[in-house]
Structure 1
Amino acid sequence: MRLFTLLCWLLCLPFAQAQVRPFDDIVDSGVLKAAVYEDFPPYSFQQDGQPRGVDVELAGALAEGLGFKLELLWVTPGEKLDDDLRNYIWKGHYLRPTLLADVMLRVPYDRDYANKRNELGELVNEQVVMFGPYQRERWQVVHDTRRLPTVDSVGVFRIHPIGVELESVPSFYLSSVFGGQLSGNTQHFPTSKAAFEAMQGARVDAVMALRGELDWLLFEAQDPALKAADNTYPNLGQPTWDIGMAVHEANRQLANAIELQIEEMVRDGRLQKIYADYGLRFELPGLYQDVQ
């Protein structure tokens, strides 16, 4: 009998799927469930037991603007963004099948990605709407001017060591550009923060990572000898991209309501202030640049 019960339970597991909350149910509950990545400063992290970060502040402002209380769902990134969208927006993780967010932050706002198809020609993320760009992100180099006064080109890393996060875009880029001439001076670390700390400890002369992460680390360090370089990156496929949000395709009404809130925050400067409070430079996403 116990074996029969266990088999029935196992067979039912794939169908233990969360139900997406319609907009009316969200309104009735008075709560907006927002998914943010855990331990990802300056965007979403906890400090002294309190949630902090740009995405946390933004989610709170959006919830307040819509008349909701905010409930944060701290999520761990999967191997691919497709996994995260499946686990937290439209299906649920097999270990937590009933945990779904109403909205997920820090999702690339990219038409090609949104229209990506599998080998059968089917849309990979057909159950997801990606919308609401609120940040333009880019790659950045920061250097210690005491050992490397200027970075006119990434070619200087033929002779100066630079730190990068292991298996990141900067790692692959600096290991391959210029026919691999920079690979010998490209040192790998478990995180961008660890690479930054290696620069502070004079083990490398510079670091390459997300601009937002480096802005935050510079803001925290308060060391005038550490400077952000103003240069381009030859042969880097996508040096800039926009960040937005995602909801289930059945929740376009929620997406529309959030988009109106984001536009209002851009126009009145509240969004820019959130970034400034964390020491980050704010760059308008292309959607807003096009209409100015």
Structure 2
Amino acid sequence: MRRRAAFLGLLGALALPGAALARCEGVVPGQRVQNADRDFVGQDLDEIVERGWIEFAVYEDLPPYSWEEGGEPQGIDIGLGRIIAEALGVEPRFRFVTSGENLEADLRYNVWQGLPMGGADNIVANVMLHVPYDSTFACRVEQVVFSGQAYREQVAIAYRQDVYPEDVPTPAYFRFDLVAVENDTIADFYLASFEGGQMNANIRRFPSMALAMEALNRGDVPAAMGPRAMLEAGAGSGVLVATPPLPGLAVGAWTVGIAVHHSHRDLGYAVDDAIAAALADGRVAALFENAGLSFTPPER
């Protein structure tokens, strides 16, 4: 989630009231990185089909979206990659990547430039999965095409039913009760600033959402806040997940899609068609249902 925190902060800023602008009007593209001498990187759609496989960049250790278990890729995004590969008639391959300092760095390293000083085998992936979509952000990053919106994620609250038997806790409860979050995420930033920082002393920060949920399951804290799918995936017996109102949070939900290099728009169109077909016939929804997770269709 830390990889998305800066991006979601940007979404919050963009959601503030202001004049309506045409898409990309008034948006200054990000400065191009020096020594990025190739405008065409990776493989186009025909080359991918001819060689018989497609490579996806996915985040490591990000359940329930993507992780490895016994050497095998697992998760919602892995299933989505397999759906795309099947539609293209090729084999899916997954490259697990770590997160950079922000989303723009992740896109630079995995979609349009590669790692600096990465060596001869340092090449970008054909498609990056689990990329939050925002129209204004897309205008800033000219080197990337954002497509394939597959599902919606939102901030939610998990809580122990034995502590809150009659009502769902809202952020105001955490002025008095402990709450677990992943460090440096949108939930962390939101609660730390809520009502002038009144609940800072009650926030318990963890390196990952999975560890925060373990603390909740043990009863160390009565509640946790973060992405709904992560909360649902980590919820143990007696733990419920709800989406109460979050006052003051400008953007509490976001669409998740894919990213490809701008020179491979044909690939982006093909991937988008594959995901649209899987949304229409229920295969994307089935990925969530089979994992015991709630599914919200994307805004496309």
Structure 2 residue identity aligned to 1:133: Q
- Is 2:243 aligned against 1:197? no
Q: Which residue number in structure 2 is paired with residue 121 of structure 1?
A: none
Per the alignment, in what secondary structure is the counterpart of residue 286 of structure 1? Answer: coil
TM superposition shift of 1:188 = 1.1
Q: Which residue number in structure 2 is paired with residue 120 of structure 1?
A: none
Report matched runs for 1:61-100 at 5 Å. Answer: 61-96=83-118, 98-100=122-124
Per the alignment, in what secondary structure is the counterpart of residue 297 of structure 2? Answer: coil
- Is 2:162 aligned against 1:146? yes
TM superposition shift of 1:153 = 2.6
Per the alignment, in what secondary structure is the counterpart of residue 282 of structure 1? Answer: coil
- Is 2:127 aligned against 1:127? no
State the number of aligned residues: 262
Task: Render the CA deviation track for 1:72-96: whole Å, top value 9, x for unaligned.
Answer: 1111110111111111111110243
Q: Which has the higher contact order (CA 8 A, sep 6+)?
A: 2
Report matched runs for 1:142-291 at 5 Å. Answer: 142-149=158-165, 150-218=167-235, 221=236, 223=237, 225-287=238-300
| Backbone CA RMSD of aligned residues | 1.6
Q: Which runs of 5+ in 1 are unaligned?
A: 1-13, 117-124, 288-292
Change (3 A) 1:156 1:254: same
Distance 2:169 2:224 in 1: 15
Q: Please identify the structure whose Cα radius of gyration is greater.
A: 1
After TM superposition, the runs of 4+ consecutive aligned structure 1 residues lying more than 6 A away are 15-18
Give the structure-1-normalised TM-score: 0.86
Q: Do the aligned residues in 1 keep the contact of 2:41 with 2:261 (CA within 8 Å)?
A: no
Distance 1:246 1:284 in 2: 19
Q: Which residue number in structure 2 is paired with residue 50 of structure 1?
A: 72
Q: Which runs of 5+ in 2 are unaligned?
A: 1-34
Q: Do the aligned residues in 1 keep the contact of 2:83 with 2:275 (CA within 8 Å)?
A: no
Q: Do the aligned residues in 1 keep the contact of 2:82 with 2:92 (CA within 8 Å)?
A: yes
Percent sequence identity over matched residues?
A: 35
Give the structure-2-normalised TM-score: 0.83
